[in-house]
Every structure is written in C-alpha cells, then in structure tokens.
Amino acid sequence: MIDGTGRPALRDAVVLIDGPRIAAVGKRSMIDVPPGAHIIDASGRTVVPGLIDSHTHFLSMGYRLGHLQLDDAESLGDIVGRLSEYIRARRLPKGKWAQGRGWDDQNLAERRYPDRHDLDEASPDNPVALTRICGHMIVLNSKALEACGITGDTPNPPGGVIDKDAAGEPTGVLRDARGIVSPHIPPPTYEELKQGLRDAIKLAHSLGATTIHDCSRPDESSLLLSVKPYVDAHGEGDMKLRCHVMTGNPHERSGDEWLNFGTMKIGIDGSMGAQTALLYKHYANDPSTCGVYVGNQERNRRVVGEQHVNGGQIAIHAIGDRAIAEAVNRIEEALEAKPRPDHRHRIEHFEYPTDADIERAGRLGIVASMQPNFVGEWAWPGGMYETRLGEERNRRTNPYRRLLDLGFHVPFGSDGMPFHPLYGIWSAVNHPIPESRISVEEAVGCYTLEGAYATREEKIKGSIEPGKLADVTILPMDITKPEFHLAKTDAVGVEKAKREMKKMKAYMTILNGEIVYQA
C-alpha cells in the first residue's frame, strides 16, 4: 500500500472501510476485521488513495468521445482515411461539420501538421475541424475556411495566428484562434454534454480516478452550459465522481465534497506543440517566433487582483519561460497589494521555468500544477520538446525532482493528453531527464494528496488515513517493483512500454466506500 503521504510503501497492510469513511489502517495483526466483512485481496497489486487528476478538460473530453479520435494516428494518410470513414459511416449530409481531436504531428510519419489540402481529399463537401492533441491548434479544410469566412485577407485574431502559405492563402492551420471558428460550429447541446459527463465518469472509474479538476469549458461562450450538467447530476444523485470545476467568474470556494467551485482559470500563452508557448528566445525549429501572448495583460492583472481580494483561488495557464514569469508577476503583485497567507494560487503546466522564477514561485507559495504524461509523450530524445527547444533547453523542462526538493506543492494532472493517471505516475518515475525523476511514492502523492491540497481538501481525502473519505484505488500491479521502471531506454523499448502502460486499467476503484469499477 502507498498511502499518498510520501512515506515508504507499507506491505501486508489492511484498510478497513466503514460506510463512506476509512475506519482503520495498519498491519493485519493490528486490525480487528469485523465478522462478515467484505474482504478484498489485493495481493500482488498496489493500494493507493483514489487518484486525483488536477488538470483535465473533463466535460469537453466526455462530449468529444463521440467525435473522430486521432490520438494514435500514425500518418497524414491515416488521418485522411479515418476522416473519410467517419463521414461515410455517419452518413453526414453535405454541409454538416465533422469534428475530430487528438492528432499529434510528433507521431505522424511526415512530422508536419495536416493542412486544408490533406483534409480536402477526405471531405470536399463537409466542413472539417480537427483539433491537435494540445487543444491549442485546429486545422480546417477548405469548406470550413469558407464557412468561417477566413481568407487571405483575414487578419490574425488577438492572441492567435492564422497560418498562410507563400501566396498569402490560409493553410487551414489556426494556432490559438479557435474563437473565430467556434461561432460557426453548432455548439454541443445540453443532452450531449450530460451524456458526455456520464461517459467521462465511466472512463475515470476504469482508470482509478475518483476526483477531477475541470479546467475549462467546452463552449467558451456559455458558462451556464458548462456548469449545468455538473449541477444537475449532483442534484439528481448521479454525481459518481468528485469534481472541482473552474469557472469564469471569480468567487469564493463553494460546494461540498462531491462538487465544488472557487478557482478561476486564465491564460497567458498557448502550447509548446502549437509553438504558441511564450518564450524569451525563439523556437529552435522556427526562428521566426517566440510564441504568443494569448491573454490581455491588463485584464489578467485586474482579474488576478479581484480574485485574490475576494478570497478565491487563481489558476494561470503558463508554459513557456516568459509566460511563467508573467504569471508569477501577476500573483506577486496581488500578494504585495494584499498579503494573504495560504492563498494556494496555481500556475497550470509550469513546464519551462527559469531558475529565478522557480525561486520566486517557491518564495510566494505558488502551487505548480503539472502534467507528467507530457514528459512521457514528448521529452524523449528527438521528441517534441527537443524539436521545439533544442537539447539543452529540453533538459530544463518539467523539473519535478528539483521542485519537490524545494518544498513545492506539485499536484499532477493529465490535461487529457492522455487522461490516464497511472501513465502519468509511470512518466514521472521514468522522466526522460534522469535528474528530474521522482520516486513512486512521491508520484502517487502528487496524484493524490497534492491534488487534494490544491483545492483545500487535504483533511478529507488524498491519503489512506482513518477518518478520511473512502476513496481507494487498487492498481493491477505492484508499482514498487523494478518492473515499473523502464528497463530499455532505446526508442523501441520506450514506445513498447508506453503502449503497454496506456492499455492498463485499474483493478478496482472504490468511491465513497462503494466499488464503482472492477476489472
């Protein structure tokens, strides 16, 4: 058993659950198991606190499960073929939008972004929008460009980029510019979102997650639409997951142990994959850009200050070193104007901080909300980080070991890339940069107790201790054994290990004392 507190794993342990709470924890000889108790033998497996994904886009993930899934696409031809089959199988009438998500140019044989010409092969009559895995880039076909009124004369929107070819015509690739596309795509209906929530909850159970922090809205124009499915599911007794939902309106924390609010998320830059993460120096593979400031500096300053004064929490999306400096600046300004201990303001991602900003963020008590699956996906030699930053700068990304040694609170999440806590734990333990690796116990703690800390819930969940909520996950293997560590670090060995880890499900998920999933 790994209890989530960072202590060494406990062997031959017993966890006694009584109703929705943990009643006792200890060695078998120390625990008096009541007669008739339902006994679950976890021999050869690992018992951990219910896993907490501290940064995901849960509602939109559930809704998009019904769209074309391209996470494992291996070539542009693969994307075109799947898109053609998707349109044909669904018998989409001419003019109806086809949407997909998950393609990653780093996994494509051609190692480039798809463009409108590629998508036109599959769909000359239907507008198509395919979102990159990071969510910060979308590629449109010619029909979609036409539907959105995007031409060679269309200027870049604030904080976004419309890629154009040598002749000045749009290629179909839009970086952090979804705002000029969304008004032309039929938004999800309430029923679609509610069903998406049900589907996402089932997926979470199968992967051992018992709590999520939803960081954004599937329909940016409607806060009500993004919150209502959660509120209604909670009111109808259909809330089978603990959810902290970040909203667009500042207010103090509210809710209960199933559904709560109180964190406001804002953004400063885009993503490393879309080359919109904001850097001090240009991208290694594209000297023409240092990324994009996607927000508005003065609005961000005002919003952070208001949220801070109102007693709420702020979560600032910042990936590049320049964006992280801006995020630290905003929080530092708010704290100087009104000192407030234990504020727990967060920087989401915190992927590429400078030494100076690591020191500043630590001194200010900023929570570094990070996603270890990113290093599992993109930090290997020749991967996306190295392509975008070069080898030397890549070694400075996602410095988990250093942050934990400095006493940072580091809750782990997935950003849905992929949504898979066990893969995230494996990625942190096997960080491609050896000096940034952390232990199994520490990685579990980041996916449990640190996630609870980020929402001020560490007293009721996040660890296996008497009196806490009975949210417990049993993993299908003993992750304290050497087999959980990567044996072969060559490209073939890494890819094989990643595929196997992504296929792995939880053995059992217990939520509020009830078994909600069993393999």
| Nearest-angstrom CA–CA distance, 343 and 307 | 11
Q: What does the pLDDT read at residue 221?
A: 42
- As a whole number, mean pLDDT of residues 226-253 equals 83
Q: What does the pLDDT read at residue 186?
A: 87
Q: Which DSSP symbol is given to 458?
A: T
| Nearest-angstrom CA–CA distance, 519 and 516 | 10
| Nearest-angstrom CA–CA distance, 197 and 203 | 10
Average pLDDT, the chain: 93
Q: What does the pLDDT read at residue 475?
A: 98
Q: What does the pLDDT read at residue 250?
A: 52
Number of residues assigned to the chain:
519
- Could you tell me the residue ranges of all domains in the chain? 51-59+212-462, 72-132+137-175
**Percent with pLDDT over 90 in the chain:** 85
| Nearest-angstrom CA–CA distance, 147 and 162 | 15
DSSP E strands in 332-454: the ranges are 346-349, 367-369
Q: What does the pLDDT read at residue 162?
A: 97
The larger pLDDT score, comparing residue 217 to residue 382, is at 382
Q: What does the pLDDT read at residue 219?
A: 44
Evaluate if residue 224 carries a pLDDT over 80.
no
pLDDT in tens, 8-22: 999 889 999 999 999
Q: Which DSSP symbol is given to 370?
A: B
| Nearest-angstrom CA–CA distance, 260 and 277 | 30
Evaluate if residue 220 carries a pLDDT over 50.
no
Q: What does the pLDDT read at residue 217?
A: 54
Q: What does the pLDDT read at residue 66?
A: 85
Q: What does the pLDDT read at residue 54?
A: 98
DSSP E strands in 59-197: the ranges are 68-69, 98-103, 128-132, 137-140, 161-164, 170-175
Q: What does the pLDDT read at residue 487?
A: 82
Backbone φ, ψ for residue 257 (5° rounding): -75, -5
CB-facing half-sphere around the CA of 361: CA atoms within 13 A: 33
SS3 of residue 483 by DSSP: helix
Cα 389 from chain centre: 21
Q: Is the separation of the CB atoms in 496 and 485 below 8 Å?
A: no
In the block, residue with structure tokens 């560490």: 458
Evaluate if residue 218 carries a pLDDT over 60.
no
- As a whole number, mean pLDDT of residues 110-117 equals 95
Evaluate if residue 361 carries a pLDDT over 90.
yes
Q: What does the pLDDT read at residue 434?
A: 95
What fold characterizes domain 72-132+137-175? Diaminopimelate Epimerase; Chain A, domain 1 (3.10.310)
Q: With bands split at pLDDT 50, 70 and 90, how would you rate the model's confidence at 178?
A: confident
Q: What does the pLDDT read at residue 285?
A: 96
The larger pLDDT score, comparing residue 506 to residue 221, is at 506
| Nearest-angstrom CA–CA distance, 114 and 101 | 12
Q: With bands split at pLDDT 50, 70 and 90, how would you rate the model's confidence at 491?
A: confident
| Architecture, CATH, for domain 51-59+212-462 | Alpha-Beta Barrel (3.20)
